[in-house]
């Protein structure tokens, strides 16, 4: 039964099927943790959508100056792509019960993530060195704010990653690790998508966001 049908049920009538259907106590065929993570994705999506909206609104003012472009961000993006790929590798391995590949994927993903975070820190420092740096410039303020929040979410992911890694290192059965690895992989993919959107709209020149705003008739 899909959700809409469930909501149209007349509960005072006896149920049509057997007295008690087996699964009508849970709405989705998912482990609780997976659903919890998806709800959390919704929360993060709201955070970053609001930030992008605020950014777009601010861009409308005539004193807007785009933030300086940093080549380093391309490198960071690739690192995050690799990290996500590593996590996916680990996920496939976990599904097969392949311990070695799981370790490779998890470790590779973690190292790339650390490289990404280090790269972001370096980007912060590079931006400060730019001669036109001005903390009052909204584009620069937004850059620190948004990359900072994204980085914090990444760090939070690393905590979960660390717990999975410790479990693996202690020799826990791969099958019992599977859920952790699945969740880590989803989380990494999600944050990668978030980053790609942020990067495309906000941090690689503002032309794309501008184009979207014009397309929607806002500008």
Partner 1 sequence: MAYFIPTAPEDVPPAELGEVELYHAHSWITRWVFCQDAKVIAIQYSLTALAIGMVALVLSWLMRLQLGFPEAFDFIDAQAYYQFITMHGMIMVIYLLTALFLGGFGNYLIPLMVGARDMVFPYVNMLSYWIYLLAVLVLVSSFFVPGGPTGAGWTLYPPQAILSGTPGGAEWGIIIMLASLALFIIGFTMGGLNYVVTVLQARTRGMTLMRMPLTVWGIFVATILALLAFPALFVAAVMMGFDKLLGTSFFMPAIVEMGAQLKYGGGSPILFQHLFWFFGHPEVYIVALPAFGIVSDLISVHARRNIFGYRMMVWAIVIIGGLSFIVWAHHMYVSGMHPYFGFFFATTTLIIAVPTALKVYNWVLTLWRGNIHLTVPMLFAIGFIITFVNGGITGLFLGNAVVDVPLSDTMFVVAHFHMVMGVAPILVIMGAIYHWFPLMTGRMYDDRLGKVHFWITFLGAYAIFLPLHYLGLLGVPRRYFEMGETSFIPPSAATLNEFVTVMALIVGFSQLVFIFNLVWSTFWGKAAERNPWKATTLEWQTPEMPPGHGNFGDRLPIVYRWAYAYGIPGAPQDYLPQNVPPDLARVDELPEEEKRHKAAAGGHA
Site for partner 1 in 7-46 (CB under 8 A): 7-15, 18-28, 30, 32-33, 35-36, 39-40, 42-44, 46
Distance CA(87)–CA(194), nearest Å, equals 16
Out of 2, 17, 61, 125, the residue judged to bind partner 1 by CB under 8 A: 61
4 binds partner 1 (CB under 8 A): no
Q: How far is the CB of 175 from partner 1 (least distance, A)?
A: 15
Instruction: Candidates 71-79, 88-96, 117-125, 138-146: pick the segment binding partner 1 (CB under 8 A).
Output: 138-146
For residue 57, state whether it binds partner 1 (rule: CB under 8 A).
yes
The interface with partner 1 within residues 145-164 (CB under 8 A) comprises 145, 149
Nearest to 113 by CA among 93, 87, 89: 87
> How far is the C-alpha of 146 from the C-alpha of 123, rounded, in Å?
13
Q: Concatenate the DSSP letters of all residues of 73-119 into one string.
A: HHHHHHHHHHHHHHHHHHHHHHHHT-HHHHHHHHHHHHHHHHHHHHH
Task: Give yes or no for a contact between 42 and 78, defined as CB atoms under 8 angstroms apart.
Answer: no
Smallest distance from partner 1 to CB 143, Å: 10
Here the tokens at position 7 are: 């909501």
CB of 108 to partner 1, least distance (A): 29
214 to 60, 64, 207: CA distances (angstroms): 11, 16, 10
216 scored as a contact of partner 1 (CB under 8 A): no
Q: In the complex, which residues of this chain contact partner 1 (CB under 8 A)?
A: 3, 6-15, 18-28, 30, 32-33, 35-36, 39-40, 42-44, 46-47, 50-51, 54, 57-58, 61, 63, 135-138, 140-142, 144-145, 149
């Amino acid at each position: 039964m899909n959700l809409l049908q469930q909501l149209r049920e007349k509960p005072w009538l006896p149920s049509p099927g057997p007295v008690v259907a087996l699964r009508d106590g849970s709405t989705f065929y998912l482990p609780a943790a997976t659903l919890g993570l998806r709800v959390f994705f919704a929360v993060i999506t709201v955070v970053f959508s609001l930030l992008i909206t605020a950014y777009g609104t601010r861009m409308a003012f005539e004193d807007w100056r785009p933030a300086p472009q940093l080549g380093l961000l391309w490198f960071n993006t690739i690192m995050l792509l690799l990290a996500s790929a590593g996590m996916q590798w680990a996920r496939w391995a976990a599904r097969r019960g392949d311990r070695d590949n799981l370790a490779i994927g998890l470790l590779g993903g973690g190292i790339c993530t650390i490289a990404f975070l280090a790269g972001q820190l370096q980007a912060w420092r590079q931006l400060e060195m730019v001669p036109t740096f001005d903390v009052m410039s909204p584009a620069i303020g937004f850059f620190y704010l948004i990359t900072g929040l994204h980085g914090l979410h990444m760090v939070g992911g690393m905590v979960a990653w660390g717990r999975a890694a410790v479990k693996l290192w202690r020799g826990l059965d791969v099958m019992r690790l599977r859920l952790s690895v699945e969740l880590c992989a989803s989380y990494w993919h999600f944050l990668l998508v978030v980053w790609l959107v942020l990067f495309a709209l906000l941090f690689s020149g503002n032309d794309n966001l501008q184009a979207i705003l014009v397309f929607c008739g806002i500008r």
